[in-house]
Structure 1
Amino acid sequence: ARAAERDLFRSIYGDDDDDWLRADIPILVTHASHDGIDQTIIRADFNSDDLFDVTINIRDVLLAWTNDPADLPLNGTRSIDRQFSLRGRVIWGVLFAVLLLGGVGSWAATAKLSGAVIGVGSVLVDDDIKIVQHPDGGVLRDILVREGDRVIAGELLLRLEDAEIRAEKAILEGQLIELFARRARLMAEVDGLSTVEFPEGFSVSHPNASAIIIGERQLFAGDLSRHRSQHNQLLLQVDQLDQEIHGLRFQRTAIVSEFELAQVELERFRQLAGNNLIETSRVATAERDVIRLQGQMGDLDTSIARAQVRISDVELQILELEGTRQTEAQRNLGLVDAQIAEVEERLSAAVARYARTEIVAPVAGIVNELNVSTIGGVISPAEELVTIVPEGVDLVVEFRVAVNDIDQVHVGQAANLRFVAFNQRTTPEVPGEILRVSAASQQDTQTGERFYLAQVGVQDGERPEQLVPGMPVEVFVETEQQTAIAYFMKPFTDQIARAFREE
């Protein structure tokens, strides 16, 4: 028991010499059994005020010195001289615990902590990235840029095969030149000109223009010659009829003179017959001559009138010939104008398609994506060929906000951006501001998760120069400040609020 007592105090106060057993300190040893376990209680009164209780399992300590617990004295005293007081340590420990709890409690009750909504997004262009497409598609002939190249507006990016379109364009241009030449010929016919007048520079507007001009002039000359021949024939008929009328009139003049003489002779014969100087038969003969001459004059008048009618008919034919030529030319001119309009429209479309074989940059910027790489490959209509990041536009960060956090995110709110692609030691968090928050939630087609989209703008002068669209970004949106104790108590208050709800 004495050895056990010594080992006990050494385990508590150290392995010093036995000088700690100097003063007379009452020691009370009590042997008892509780729940089938034998225990020995040693009470030491160091300051005669407090008792220090130590409970030792007899099997673990005392039996190491004696095989019979009854050998331990039940009561006794021992002089122990302690160099320090246990009460002081307890007081200092309690005081330290009180100060620690008080300090932590004061900090938790007064300190304001800022929360954050964390989201993951990427850098994108505030003005949408320009997508270069082709409406018709075709066969790729040349690739003139690479990803990362800086281009200006109108700079050539890609070139498509144009042989088929060039052939169609040449055919339509030839048709248009031919129609314009035909139109010039018809205009000359309508205006009654003797030659065809072509626009200045028309002969050099197309390689076949000279041949077309020669053909139209020959056609015009042939038509004009045929027209003039018909016109001259009709004029000749008029001249013949005029001469015929002139002859008839000359004959009538002669017959009129003969008729006058016959009348004079008839009067003389009548006088002579009245005086019975001649036979009456001669009077009858004279009368027959007068009547005959009158009939001849009537025939001549009829012939003259008939010839005049024929002249009128021929003159009408001349007018009809001129009118028919002009009318036919005018009708053909209308058809040619319609054909010109149609061919011009088709040619305009062909020229536009030909121009689209050279794909150019719509804006100045940097080539972001080049989606074609095979010379001779076929591209489909409306296929995305090249994407260009416009030069001088602002870059923003778009990130997803969880549905449960949307009430803590609003426009104008401060946010910190961490660009995970950069070295965090050289590129710290960049301040930003919420610019836009989507009005309705969206759903991820792959995961089915619902979220809101928000955009953060980087403040002027804070944007890293190495930013490129698509770069990943972690966004920390600062929320309302709360005390630490409020953060600690929120899970409990939320649980209590749910616990007292009726089902």
Structure 2
Amino acid sequence: MSDIEFKQLAKQMAGKQQNGSSILLLSIITLLAIIMLWAAVTELDNVVRGSGKTVSEAQNQLVQSSEPGVIRSRYANEGDVVSKGDLLFDIDPVDAKTQLDQALKRSASLNIKSIRLRAEVAETIPNFPADLIEVAPASASTELALYQARLDDLSTKEAILEQQRIQKRNEIQELKIQVETASNGLKLIRREIATIEPLVLSGLAPETRLITLRREEEDMLGKANTAKSGQVRLLSGLDQIDEQLRAERQSYKTIALTDLSSIESETAELSARIPALENRVERTTVRSPVNGVINKLNYVTDDAYVSTGDVLLEIVPTGSDLIVETRIDPKDIGEIVIGQEVKISLTAYDPSRYGRIDGRVESISADALGDPQTGEQYYSADVSINGTLYEDDGAEVTILPGMVASIDVLSGKRTVLEYFWQPIAKTKDRALRD
């Protein structure tokens, strides 16, 4: 081959290589253009993901102890399915029993005291019923002793006043004798004066004798008047003694009536309390308030002491609709609104086999919440379940409260180009700010 032919062949081969490179470049550019066009027009679902668990829309029921006491028996375990009215715990209400015993004993004591006081008012002997003595024997003995002591005290006071009456009557009798003696002496003196006075006027007797008789008359008259005044005073004293006797008896009854009035209010209060205490003692059982599943059991041993209001267990109600209680990342909360459609996946049922359930955002918390254990911030959203899952044979699967779920919130659409461009734009914007 000559040089000229070789050069011509080389030029032809170079031209073919140039044409091949141009075609390849043009093909790449065309492919990129097609990809960009596809990315610009093809839309994808914009999804916000969250996680949570299924809960009853009726909220979990906390079963509390209505009375303090000691657990005698437990009839339920975690995970048990219970019906409304099922027996859960048997509790011995020791505090209520103690209070009832004290109230019954106090009531018996007050009734015994009331019988004693009524006997004092009626001036009879108290007669305590055997059932009251059995409940409060010490009170019966005390009230009987008090009755006797008060009666003895009254009798002593009456005896003293009666002794004073006798003494005054004796004094009155002595003064009566003195009055009679003075009256008789006065009569004799006046007869003697009547005899002497004419003789003195006639000069047959000395005037001094008449003066002496007049002096004796005045003296005897004074003694008679003094004795009469003493009688009046002593008779008045007898009236005072009678008044004191009446006052002592009245005071005895008044004290009894006052005490009786004071205990009647307490007796009425106890009469109202005792039925309530008896009702509390009878409430020794704790029963399920709803149909559901026991989620958490706080007391698992017998003989444990519980106080009023202590939470014994937690029941997840069944028979009501379930919702998914979901946690949403605060950075995504702006893309979620009430009413948005949701796709729900349950970890208990493989989505690749069972699929996903449709749902709807029903509520969103007004503010971010914090996990007390991790400190993680999140928003809470309640998602309703609007469908179900099916087994291969067409049977519905059972969805229970407490199942872990993940949700995909369809917050809108964006193109493939926007999907890839968004992180680049964020990086660019941050770089420009820096």
Same fold by TM-score greater than 0.5: yes
Which residue is 2:409 aligned to? 477
Q: 1:152 aligns to what SS in structure 2? A: coil
**1:127-147: CA deviation from partner (whole Å, max 9, x where unpaired):** 442333459976432113334
**1:271 lines up with 2:203 in the alignment:** no
Taking the aligned partners of 2:94 and 2:425, their CA distance within structure 1 comes to 78
**1:339-377: CA deviation from partner (whole Å, max 9, x where unpaired):** 879999998998798577x36247323233223332235
Which residue is 1:438 aligned to? 365
Which residue is 1:173 aligned to? 104
Instruction: Quickly say closer, same or farther: Cα 1:238–1:380, change in 2 above 3 A.
Output: closer
Q: 1:220 aligns to what SS in structure 2? A: helix
**1:39-94: CA deviation from partner (whole Å, max 9, x where unpaired):** x97979xxxxxx9779xxxxxxxxxxxxxxxxxxxxxxxxxxxxxxxxxxx9xxx9
Taking the aligned partners of 1:207 and 1:161, their CA distance within structure 2 comes to 25
Which amino acid is 1:193 matched to?
A: A
Which residue is 1:82 aligned to? none
Deviation at 1:442, TM superposition (A): 3.7
Q: 1:291 aligns to what SS in structure 2? A: helix
Taking the aligned partners of 2:196 and 2:166, their CA distance within structure 1 comes to 44
Which residue is 1:458 aligned to? 385
Which amino acid is 1:115 matched to?
A: N
Which residue is 2:327 aligned to? 400
**1:429 lines up with 2:356 in the alignment:** yes
Taking the aligned partners of 2:67 and 2:61, their CA distance within structure 1 comes to 19
**1:123 lines up with 2:54 in the alignment:** yes
Instruction: Quickly say closer, same or farther: Cα 1:204–1:274, change in 2 above 3 A.
Output: same
| Contact 1:140–1:379 (Cα < 8 Å) also in 2 | yes
**1:363 lines up with 2:289 in the alignment:** yes
Instruction: Quickly say closer, same or farther: Cα 1:497–1:225, change in 2 above 3 A.
Output: closer
Long gaps (5+) in structure 1: 1-27, 33-39, 45-50, 55-89
Among 315, 321, 329, the residue aligned to 1:388: 315
Deviation at 1:434, TM superposition (A): 1.5
Q: 1:440 aligns to what SS in structure 2? A: coil
Q: 2:296 aligns to what SS in structure 1? A: strand
Instruction: Quickly say closer, same or farther: Cα 1:41–1:180, change in 2 above 3 A.
Output: farther
Taking the aligned partners of 2:87 and 2:418, their CA distance within structure 1 comes to 63
Deviation at 1:384, TM superposition (A): 4.2
| Contact 1:204–1:210 (Cα < 8 Å) also in 2 | no
**1:417 lines up with 2:344 in the alignment:** yes
| Contact 1:185–1:217 (Cα < 8 Å) also in 2 | yes
**1:389-445: CA deviation from partner (whole Å, max 9, x where unpaired):** 346554321122123211111222221222221365785422222222233334445
Deviation at 1:183, TM superposition (A): 4.5
**1:159 lines up with 2:86 in the alignment:** no
Deviation at 1:454, TM superposition (A): 1.7
Taking the aligned partners of 2:371 and 2:7, their CA distance within structure 1 comes to 74
Taking the aligned partners of 1:151 and 1:363, their CA distance within structure 2 comes to 8
Which residue is 1:468 aligned to? 400
Taking the aligned partners of 2:38 and 2:132, their CA distance within structure 1 comes to 92
TM-score by structure 2 length? 0.72
Question: For residues 210-249 of structure 1, what are the structure 2 equivalents within 5 Å?
Answer: 216=143, 219-220=146-147, 223-224=150-151, 226-228=153-155, 230-231=157-158, 234-235=161-162, 237-238=164-165, 241-242=168-169, 244-245=171-172, 248-249=175-176
Question: For residues 123-142 of structure 1, what are the structure 2 equivalents within 5 Å?
Answer: 123-134=54-65, 139-142=70-73
Higher relative contact order structure (alpha carbons within 8 Å, sequence separation ≥ 6)? 2
Q: 2:362 aligns to what SS in structure 1? A: strand
Instruction: Quickly say closer, same or farther: Cα 1:402–1:164, change in 2 above 3 A.
Output: closer
Structure of greater Rg? 1
Taking the aligned partners of 2:136 and 2:205, their CA distance within structure 1 comes to 94
Taking the aligned partners of 2:381 and 2:95, their CA distance within structure 1 comes to 49
Instruction: Quickly say closer, same or farther: Cα 1:101–1:267, change in 2 above 3 A.
Output: same
Taking the aligned partners of 1:451 and 1:216, their CA distance within structure 2 comes to 71
Taking the aligned partners of 1:341 and 1:206, their CA distance within structure 2 comes to 20
Q: 1:470 aligns to what SS in structure 2? A: coil
Which amino acid is 1:173 matched to?
A: L
Deviation at 1:472, TM superposition (A): 0.5
Instruction: Quickly say closer, same or farther: Cα 1:206–1:114, change in 2 above 3 A.
Output: farther
Which residue is 2:392 aligned to? none
Q: 1:385 aligns to what SS in structure 2? A: strand
Which residue is 1:5 aligned to? none
Taking the aligned partners of 1:324 and 1:205, their CA distance within structure 2 comes to 28
Instruction: Quickly say closer, same or farther: Cα 1:108–1:238, change in 2 above 3 A.
Output: same
Deviation at 1:287, TM superposition (A): 3.6
Higher helix share: 2
Taking the aligned partners of 1:241 and 1:118, their CA distance within structure 2 comes to 113
| Contact 2:53–2:405 (Cα < 8 Å) also in 1 | yes
| Contact 1:435–1:457 (Cα < 8 Å) also in 2 | yes
| Contact 1:29–1:42 (Cα < 8 Å) also in 2 | no
| Contact 1:179–1:336 (Cα < 8 Å) also in 2 | yes
Deviation at 1:122, TM superposition (A): 0.6
Taking the aligned partners of 2:371 and 2:149, their CA distance within structure 1 comes to 79
Deviation at 1:455, TM superposition (A): 1.7
Which residue is 2:217 aligned to? 290
| Contact 2:67–2:96 (Cα < 8 Å) also in 1 | no
Report the RMSD for the aligned CA atoms in angstroms: 5.1
| Contact 2:54–2:401 (Cα < 8 Å) also in 1 | yes
| Contact 2:66–2:308 (Cα < 8 Å) also in 1 | yes
